[in-house]
A and B are shown apart, each in its own frame.
Chain A
Amino acid sequence: MFHKNDLKAVSKEQAAFLSRIQKRKTAVLALQIFLLVSFFLLWEIAARQRWIDPFLFSQPTRMLASAMDMMQDGTLFLHIGTTLWETVAGFLLGTVLGTLTAVLLWWNRFISDVAEPYLVVLNSLPKTALAPIIIVWFGNNQSSIIIVALLTSVIVTILSVLNGFLQVDEERIKLIQIFGGTKWQVLTKVVFPANIPCILNALKINVGLSFVGVIVGEFLVAQNGLGFLIIYGGQVFKLDWVMMSVIILSILAAVMYQTIALLEKRFTKW
């Protein structure tokens, strides 16, 4: 009933404006779906018509068939589960360790000044270059992969969270001090809560970075996981596996990103 009144209250001009916006939204979504469907459809047709060689390029139905096979013997879930676990562990550890280090550097500006050039250099270094070293040091196992994933995200987290900490308004810090607050209270009452959006944003970026670390790690050592499936599929010319894994990876990345975006919305209601 309330709703009806609302509708009545809207002027013709406003209604036209709203419908224009709605139409545009629908058009964008429709085109997005159309592009996705036609991409796979074209791929399928091209393979069937032998415009491309399905042995090298695979094709949607063959990917689906191998996914079905792997689902039946359960190996697909093992691969997905492995990669997912390594990635989540990697980006959570990277974010937590990065944030804790940022707290330390914020607390002691002397250490932070000393560490600065090292952090800047480490940040520009492609962390995957360290993967072979990590594997030699920590062994041919899953923890090495998680450490590589962690390394890809930890430095950038330190830098961006520390930057957020340092940008907190001096006057807000003064606010805590005029009540006689300690440095710990400055951290817990102002600096940290003010930077929760910044930390969640780091988490979002770290999802992507962590995937890079995990896949490279799996290329090098793994016996299972989507990265293993990709490298192994490439070696035995099972391009169906490779393509299928890449598509599953993109779905996983999208789902994780959306989950954190939802989390972000939930935490920033103000």
Chain B
Amino acid sequence: MRPIVSLEDVSLRYHSISGETPAVSHLNLTVQSGEFISIVGPSGCGKSTILSMLAGLLPPSEGHIEVNGNIGYMLQKDYLLHWRSIRSNALLGLEIQKKLTPETVAYVDALLEQYGLGDFKESYPYQLSGGMRQRVALIRTLAIRPDILLLDEPFSALDYQTRLSVSDEIGTIIRKEGKTAILVTHDISEAISLSDRVVVLSKRPAKLKKIFPIRFSMAEHTPMQAREAPEFKDYFNTIWKELDVHVS
């Protein structure tokens, strides 16, 4: 099967007056349709750079990137526009792509209803909790019917409790909508609980260290239930060792 995303020998260097910084080095990765992939690595290793390249915001210095589908990108924070109502925020992507039709608007309304925001359509972002805002950001991304979701630490701005429930919620939504997802995170537990495969990167410049396929003994599970699985701890320890984080 043709992969939905493939990176072949991709490198990227940042240029600034003080010099050249290699951010990504000779990276190879393929993602199949419907897969949920997590990319973990030490902070500042160039994880987000990979997503920017996939989204076409940054051309790679070398190598080849192929993306066969529409991209939806979720940023670290919700970045809801505070002067727009929730509904109008959710419609932003469609508006920019000039795809506002009765059908697409109805789809967004349905998503808002379905994910518990029906009563808040005319509210403003400041009236919503952090978790709800992040859900609006997801709906804004889903509204353009992307085939591939890029998630750039989308839960990192939330407090721990909210983070657990929002990642569970959003993970479940993405599975249900049958999307391919690439999640960048530094939270190993989050990566294991959500993904089919976990990709471990080295320190900057990011090189591929290892890919761990994640399989749990239970058949159907939510991300939250995955955290209870007996295999969870083993995966955690292996990936932790592979990450090789030295605090000294």
Chain A neighbourhood of B55, CB < 8 A: 178
Measured CA separation A176–B96 after assembly (Å): 7
Are A189 and B96 in touch, CB under 8 angstroms? Answer: yes
Query: Which residue of B75, B82, B96 is within 8 Å of A181 (Cβ)?
Result: B96
* Residue from A172, A175, A177, A270 with most neighbouring chain B CB atoms (10 Å): A175
A 168-212 contacts with B by CB, 8 A: 169, 171-172, 174-181, 185, 189-190, 193-194, 196
CA distance A174 to B57 in the complex (A): 9
- What's the dominant secondary structure at chain A's contact region? helix
Is there contact, CB below 8 Å, between B82 and A270?
yes
Q: How large is the interface on B (under 10, 10 to 19, 20 to 34, 35 or more residues)?
A: 20 to 34
B93 to chain A, nearest CB (A): 4
CA–CA, A270 to B81, complex, Å? Answer: 10
A171: chain B residues at CB < 8 Å are: 75-77, 79
Known A178-B57, A193-B83; judge A270-B126 contact (CB<8 A). Answer: yes
By the criterion of a CB under 8 Å from any partner CB, how many residues of chain A are at the interface? Answer: 19
| B-contact 0/1 string along A214-251, CB 8 Å cutoff | 00000000000000000000000000000000000000
Main secondary structure, interface of B, reads: loop
Whether B95 sits at the interface, judged by CB under 8 Å, is yes
- Asked if B117 is at the interface (CB within 8 A of a chain A CB), the reply is no
Hey, which chain B residues are within 8 Å of A169, CB to CB? 79
In the complex with contacts A171-B77, A175-B75, A178-B57, A270-B96 CB distance below 8 A: no
In the complex, what residues of A have CB within 8 A of residue B184's CB?
none
Q: How far is the CA of A166 from the CA of B79 in the complex (A)?
A: 17
Q: Is B148 an interface residue (CB 8 A)?
A: no
**Whole-angstrom distance between the Cβ of A33 and the nearest chain B Cβ:** 37
Q: Is B238 part of the binding interface, using a Cβ–Cβ cutoff of 8 Å?
A: no
Q: Please, which residue of chain B has its CB at the minimum distance from the CB of A196?
A: B83
B111 interface residue per 8 A CB criterion: no
Contact with A along B82-94 (1 / 0, CB 8 A): 1100000000110
What 1/0 mask marks residues of chain A from 239 to 270 whose CB sits below 8 Å from any chain B CB?
00000000000000000000000000000011
B124 contacts the other chain (CB 8 A)? yes
Residues 54-92 of B at the A interface (beta carbon under 8 Å): 55, 57, 71, 73, 75-77, 79, 81-83, 92
Q: Does B97 make an interface contact (CB < 8 A)?
A: yes
Nearest CB in chain B: distance from A198 CB, A:
13
B144 at interface by CB-CB < 8 Å: yes
